[in-house]
């Protein structure tokens, strides 16, 4: 107890010193505090899932020390210091859960549990649109849902707990998963304010899973779960130098997740390596009787996606380069071309250029589908939650009544437009959904792959992060590869491919439905050959 109390005292002194300083000195003291905490608990910087389990098995630290380590980092880096503002709340039961995981677990017992539970003791953050039936909130970043508790854990949360994961907290997000306004600023919510990019604090963390991306980039947990309708996993992963996996729709259950569109929504892993993302996906994926989209998995043995981590996974793979998603920034093109050279050097057969023939022809249909499905899905979700607000109409009224707090920088025109739509039996919806899926899938990705007997499509995920702008909202430079796989419901993985003036950019790999094994193999082989990811250093800005 003497050593522990001394360690806590030193962290407190570090934090006190940090608050007395400003400017560049904050970064110096912050690094010292973080290093002291890590040294005290022997928790390595940016530990992988394997390193966590090896550390637990070897007795270098226990689960309580892990929880304490990350809580200290969140308080020092997210809520003070750099003030990334990515974590909405730390699980108030995290310390108790960690202690319970440690109970009766000597070194040998921890080693055994790590073998039996693939996420035993691993701190995981959840996006704040994923239900937890505990003392944490689930709000989609909206003040309207504060105090309204879901009745139980989402299906994927139950799977995480069964796998031994420590649910550390909830991350900020673009409010309502970025489906409230066409002029929104990603990473902002009424509940949480603005999340910042740890690679440049004046820049945007991108996408609605913005808090999950920024938090894992800043090493505030080992991995996180994000959600995507169109780009909300891959975009924040790309600009935060993470691996993000947007799975085939139906591979991961959506029950207990605040919806946008049933035909496109999915949860997925966000991590600092392909290995960690694959391990997390292995836990998340599975049949859920409450989500009809997972029906194809009912009679299947769950896959262990880590078996596809193959350094030679690119050999003989036929890859098509989608140049239509490049050419928007010379320096991004330089990094992308270097990535293509790496793919080729590792044995891939490159077809360049070769584009999706229907790209851009399904955008209007997608918007129609999202409006109809959002109204249908959010009304059903709120009704089942059993508390006020009970409908989209109620949310619109709440936002109007709380205009100063909820709409200081953007409005709710998407809410209003969705409310004006009819039921999903309407002819306009049915025709738009059929056309969008056909153009993005059969006549889009499938046609692009079939033309030259290809396996994978690649492109830059997007450009570097833009500066936060509450006047004009988000401003993407280019990329936009996410829409076709999102609409088709096909898998999409982004993996770090380099930096543009210190800002990360990602390489996208897209495949046919249920092709996660091949995409993971390719992403891992590229990652191991390129070693492109670099951690952030918490600068104040990038010109």
Task: Point out the catalytic residue in the list 48, 86, 127, 530.
Answer: 127
Question: Residues 410-419: what's their mean pLDDT?
Answer: 98
Please check whether residue 302 lies inside any domain of the structure: no
Catalytic-residue membership of 232:
yes
Question: Residues 216-235: what's their mean pLDDT?
Answer: 98
Nearest to 244 by CA among 447, 497, 66: 497
Where are the alpha helices (H) located in 218-329, listed in sequence order? Answer: 234-239, 274-284
pLDDT over threshold 50, residue 440? yes
Residue for token digits 């007795």?
A: 59
391 and 516, same domain (yes or no): no
377 and 487, same domain (yes or no): no
pLDDT at position 387: 77
453: left (phi over 0), alpha (psi -120 to 50) or beta: left
Question: Residues 106-122: what's their mean pLDDT?
Answer: 81
What is the C-alpha end-to-end distance of the chain, expressed in Å?
Answer: 48
CA 198 to chain centre: 15
347 and 380, same domain (yes or no): no
Residue for token digits 């928790």?
A: 43
| 314 CB-side CA count, 13 A | 27
Higher pLDDT, 17 or 512: 512
Torsion of CA 463, 469, 193, 384, to 10 degrees: -70
454 and 353, same domain (yes or no): yes
Residues of the chain with pLDDT > 70, as a percent, come to 91
pLDDT at position 11: 40
Catalytic-residue membership of 127:
yes
Higher pLDDT, 462 or 360: 462
List, in order, residues 6 or more apart from 350 with CB less than 8 Å away.
Answer: 319, 321, 340, 343, 344
Please check whether residue 141 lies inside any domain of the structure: no
Please check whether residue 396 lies inside any domain of the structure: yes
Number of Cβ atoms within 10 Å of the Cβ of 455: 20
pLDDT at position 105: 60
Residues of the chain with pLDDT > 90, as a percent, come to 83
**Ranges 367-371, 385-389, 408-412: which has the least confidence:** 385-389
378 and 494, same domain (yes or no): no
345 and 377, same domain (yes or no): no
pLDDT over threshold 50, residue 7? no
**Ranges 5-9, 319-323, 462-466: which has the least confidence:** 5-9
Tens digits of per-residue pLDDT, 391-401? 999 999 999 99
Please check whether residue 512 lies inside any domain of the structure: yes
> In the chain, how many domains are there?
2
Tens digits of per-residue pLDDT, 239-258? 999 999 999 999 999 999 99
Please check whether residue 262 lies inside any domain of the structure: no
385 and 495, same domain (yes or no): no
473 and 487, same domain (yes or no): yes
382 and 508, same domain (yes or no): no
Tens digits of per-residue pLDDT, 9-45? 444 434 333 333 333 333 333 443 444 444 345 899 9
- Residue 353, preceding bond cis, omega within 30 degrees? yes
Q: Which residues face 495 on adjacent strands?
A: 507
Please check whether residue 515 lies inside any domain of the structure: yes
- On whether the CB atoms of residues 177 and 414 are closer than 8 A, the answer is no
SS3 content of the chain, % helix, strand, coil (to 5): 45, 15, 40
Band (115; pLDDT cuts 50, 70, 90): confident
- On whether the CB atoms of residues 271 and 280 are closer than 8 A, the answer is yes
Complete DSSP assignment for 186-250: TTEETTTEE--BTTBTTB---STTHHHHHHHHTTSSSEEEEEESSSTTHHHHHHTT-EEEEPPTT
Task: Point out the catalytic residue in the list 48, 184, 186, 208.
Answer: 208
Look up residue 11 and give its two tokens.
């962290």
Catalytic-residue membership of 253:
no
391 and 518, same domain (yes or no): no
Question: Residues 445-466: what's their mean pLDDT?
Answer: 95
420 and 520, same domain (yes or no): no
pLDDT at position 41: 57
pLDDT at position 540: 56
**What CA–CA distances, in Å, run from 69 to 4, 51, 95?**
12, 15, 11
Question: Which of 383, 402, 429 is the last residue in one of the domains?
Answer: 429
Look up residue 292 and give its two tokens.
């009809």
Question: Residues 52-57: what's their mean pLDDT?
Answer: 93
pLDDT at position 24: 35
User: Considering the chain, what is the average pLDDT of its residues?
Assistant: 91
Burial class, 176, CB count within 10 angstroms (exposed 0-12 / middle 13-18 / buried 19+): buried
Where are the alpha helices (H) located in 43-170, listed in sequence order? Answer: 49-58, 63-73, 94-102, 107-116, 155-162
- On whether the CB atoms of residues 459 and 484 are closer than 8 A, the answer is no
- Structural domain boundaries enclosing 384: 363-429
pLDDT over threshold 50, residue 534? yes
342 and 412, same domain (yes or no): no
Please check whether residue 517 lies inside any domain of the structure: yes
Radius of gyration (Cα) for the chain, nearest Å?
22
Nearest to 506 by CA among 529, 523, 485: 523
Question: Residues 320-342: what's their mean pLDDT?
Answer: 96
- On whether the CB atoms of residues 234 and 492 are closer than 8 A, the answer is yes
Altogether, the residues listed in the chain come to a count of: 543
Please check whether residue 91 lies inside any domain of the structure: no
Task: Point out the catalytic residue in the list 86, 184, 209, 232.
Answer: 232
Nearest to 487 by CA among 295, 267, 277, 228: 228
Question: Residues 60-86: what's their mean pLDDT?
Answer: 96
Band (406; pLDDT cuts 50, 70, 90): very high
**What CA–CA distances, in Å, run from 511 to 394, 456, 458, 523?**
40, 5, 9, 12
Tens digits of per-residue pLDDT, 168-215? 999 999 999 999 999 999 999 999 999 999 999 999 999 999 999 999
């Amino acid at each position: 107890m003497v050593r522990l109390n001394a360690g806590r005292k030193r962290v407190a002194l570090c934090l006190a010193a940090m608050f007395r300083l400003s400017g560049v000195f904050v970064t110096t003291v912050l690094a010292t505090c973080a290093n002291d905490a890590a040294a005290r608990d022997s928790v390595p910087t940016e530990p992988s899932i394997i390193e966590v389990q090896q550390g637990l098995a070897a007795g270098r630290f226990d689960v309580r020390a892990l929880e304490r380590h990350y809580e200290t980092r969140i308080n020092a880096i997210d809520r003070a210091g750099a003030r990334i503002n990515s974590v909405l709340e730390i699980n108030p039961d995290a310390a108790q859960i960690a202690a319970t995981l440690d109970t009766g677990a000597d070194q040998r017992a921890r080693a055994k549990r790590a073998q039996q539970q693939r996420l035993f003791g691993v701190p995981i953050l959840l996006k704040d649109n994923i239900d937890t039936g505990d003392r944490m909130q689930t709000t989609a970043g909206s003040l309207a849902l504060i105090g309204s508790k879901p009745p139980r854990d989402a299906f994927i949360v139950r799977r995480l707990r069964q796998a031994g994961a420590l649910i550390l907290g909830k991350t900020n997000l673009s409010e309502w998963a970025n489906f409230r306004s066409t002029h929104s600023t990603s990473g902002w919510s009424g509940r949480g304010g603005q999340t910042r990019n740890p690679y440049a604090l004046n820049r945007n963390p991108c996408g609605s899973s913005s808090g999950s991306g920024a938090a894992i980039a800043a090493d505030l947990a080992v991995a996180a779960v994000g959600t995507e309708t169109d780009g909300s996993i891959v975009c924040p992963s790309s600009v935060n130098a993470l691996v993000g996996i947007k799975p085939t729709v139906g591979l991961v259950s959506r029950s207990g997740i605040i919806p946008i569109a049933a035909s496109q929504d999915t949860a997925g892993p966000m991590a600092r390596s392909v290995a960690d993302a694959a391990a997390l996906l292995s836990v998340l994926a599975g049949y859920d009787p409450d989500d009809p989209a997972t029906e194809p998995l009912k009679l299947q043995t769950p896959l262990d996606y880590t078996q596809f981590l193959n350094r030679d996974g690119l050999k003989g793979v036929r890859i098509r380069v989608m140049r239509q998603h490049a050419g928007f920034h010379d320096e991004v093109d330089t990094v992308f071309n270097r990535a293509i050279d790496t793919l080729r050097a590792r044995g891939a057969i490159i077809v360049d250029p070769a584009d999706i023939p229907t790209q851009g022809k399904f955008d209007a249909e997608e918007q129609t589908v999202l409006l109809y499905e959002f109204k249908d899905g959010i009304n059903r979700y709120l009704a089942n939650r059993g508390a006020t607000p009970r409908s989209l109409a109620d949310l619109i009224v709440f936002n109007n009544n709380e205009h100063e707090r909820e709409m200081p920088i953007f409005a709710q025109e998407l809410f209003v437009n969705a409310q004006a739509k009819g039921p999903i039996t309407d002819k306009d919806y049915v025709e738009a959904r059929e056309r969008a899926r056909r153009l993005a899938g059969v006549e889009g990705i499938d046609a692009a792959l079939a033309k030259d007997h290809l396996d994978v499509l690649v492109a830059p995920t997007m450009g570097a992060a833009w500066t936060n702008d509450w006047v004009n909202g988000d401003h993407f430079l280019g990329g936009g590869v996410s829409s076709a796989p999102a609409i088709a419901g096909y898998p999409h993985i982004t993996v770090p491919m380099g930096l543009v003036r210190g800002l990360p950019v990602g390489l996208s790999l897209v495949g046919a439905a249920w092709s996660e094994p091949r995409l993971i193999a390719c992403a891992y082989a590229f990652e191991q050959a390129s070693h492109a990811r670099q951690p952030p250093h918490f600068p104040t800005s990038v010109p």
